[in-house]
Structure 1
Amino acid sequence: MMGKSSKSDQQQARAAAQRRLAENRRARFNYEILETYTAGLVLQGWEVKSVRGGRAQIGESYVAVSRGELFLLGSHFSPLTAASTHVEAEPLRSRKLLMTAKEISYLIGKTQQVGLTLVPLNLHLVRGKIKILVGLARGKKKHDKRDALQKRDWQRQQQRILKNQY
């Protein structure tokens, strides 16, 4: 269920699906995504090469608020073997997220509410720049997850039945 996401956010998400570099697949299973936002990332040169090479992992990452700023923590960007020797690569360092001050203050206010958190959904390219799709989310209960699995299984069965009929 999408909350207050505008059409432009949904269009951005669809366009991002075409140029996805890394994805947090468990996020949509573990959380109900209420709203989505696109943010920039402060990256070093070797990190950009690593992400473009498909060596970024955001499955275990999360977004934290520190001193009025948003940071991506727990993401792993594997350094390339051909990376420069004078730069010491730190694969697990925290990376600052770039958003407008209005969006940041809104999200900080929302995350202070009980049960809401910020979850990274995917890394993608927008006009040559690496962006991250962040979702304002509420954790799902165990029974909600079971319902989602049952729905997914039922959809697969329907597809199989329709395929066999034709």
Structure 2
Amino acid sequence: MNTELILTTNDKAMIEAINLVSDNWHEVPLPDHPIYPQFSRKLIVTGFSNPNLEKPEERIYVYVTQVLTLKSTDAVYKHIPMKAWEIYEWNTEEVIRPDGTVMKGIRRITDNEGNVIEEKEEVVKVPSIQYVRFLIKSKTVHLTDVLERFMAQYIDLFKAEIDDI
């Protein structure tokens, strides 16, 4: 007996696209290493977790690997586990409006009678984990957008570790 699953052309294309998705959550190309220019480099997010541990603070771990590929053959030479990024509930992020601009407000300082002493513009920041939840649950951005933003920060924070291959 033979069985066969019959799909429309569009459904077949979708199944093929699903099967071709890379095995990481996000990747970021890196510039050539000054000492090892024979390699192409990229960072990949291999996973993330939000452990439900009985600890006083909430956190998210983002697991990252650097991949070195030989330019001459396009063969992967080495996977280098990088430092996991620990994002704690007390970390803050700049709030980005739907139009892509950074949200700003006016910080006003007044005396006890309500007279303005000082006003200055300030970027609005909120707790990182709560902001990520809001962005994903409100469907403001997709998970890959969140990872893209965090990876730009990761590269800035861990540049020395990234280049120490």
TM-score (norm 1): 0.23
- For normalisation by structure 2, the TM-score amounts to 0.23
Work out which of the two has the higher radius of gyration on C-alpha atoms and give 1 or 2. 2
Higher helix share: 1
Structure of higher RCO (CA pairs closer than 8 Å, 6+ residues apart): 1
